[in-house]
């Protein structure tokens, strides 16, 4: 049985990996982090489709929070000044707004810095890779 929550993220996405790296360095939540591509998803009670769709926070008891609610749980688990912000993100109407912002970012992560082709959500256009001097 796990004693700490697990943050599951897309390890193939440079944007997602950068975000998790920032969270680990700056917020230091008391949790394990694992790319979904290397996680035992069945043991976590998560499908590959859901893991590819959003970041997940899995509690030691097996409760799964996804997307903006996972972000709120990260903030709550980080303590210090971050916990009140996490609590706020769990309450309506902030929860609804956070969900909309999370989906906007997640659905467009292939356009954000650090993005790779793997960042594109199913059905999204592939990220454009530019070479130096292109577009001049």
Do the bridges between strand 32-35 and strand 6-9 make them parallel or antiparallel, or are there none, so unpaired?
Answer: parallel
CA gap 13, 35 in Å, rounded: 10
- Provide the Cα torsion 129, 121, 119, 106; round to 10°: 110
- Range name among 27-36, 112-121, 123-132 with the lowest pLDDT average: 123-132
Answer yes or no: pTM beyond 0.85: no
- DSSP lists the bridge partners of residue 32 as 6
Query: Helix, strand, or coil here: 101?
Result: helix
Report residue 71's pLDDT band, with 50, 70 and 90 as the boundaries. very high
Summarised one tens digit per residue, pLDDT across range 83-111 is 999 999 999 999 999 999 999 999 998 88
In this prediction, residue 115 carries a pLDDT of: 56
Q: Which residue has the higher pLDDT, 35 or 112?
A: 35
CA gap 136, 134 in Å, rounded: 6
In this prediction, residue 92 carries a pLDDT of: 96
């Amino acid at each position: 049985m796990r004693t700490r929550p697990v943050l599951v993220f897309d390890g193939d996405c440079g944007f997602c990996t950068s975000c998790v790296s920032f969270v680990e360095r700056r917020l230091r939540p008391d949790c394990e982090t694992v790319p979904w591509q290397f996680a035992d998803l069945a043991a976590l009670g998560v499908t590959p489709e859901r893991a590819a769709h959003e970041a997940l926070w899995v509690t030691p008891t097996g409760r799964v929070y996804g997307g903006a609610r996972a972000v709120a749980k990260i903030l709550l688990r980080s303590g210090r000044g971050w916990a009140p912000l996490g609590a706020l993100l769990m309450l309506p109407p902030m929860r609804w707004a956070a969900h909309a912002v999370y989906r906007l970012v997640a659905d467009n992560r292939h356009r954000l810095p650090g993005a790779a082709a793997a960042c594109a959500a199913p059905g999204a256009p592939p990220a454009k890779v530019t070479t130096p001097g292109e577009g001049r």
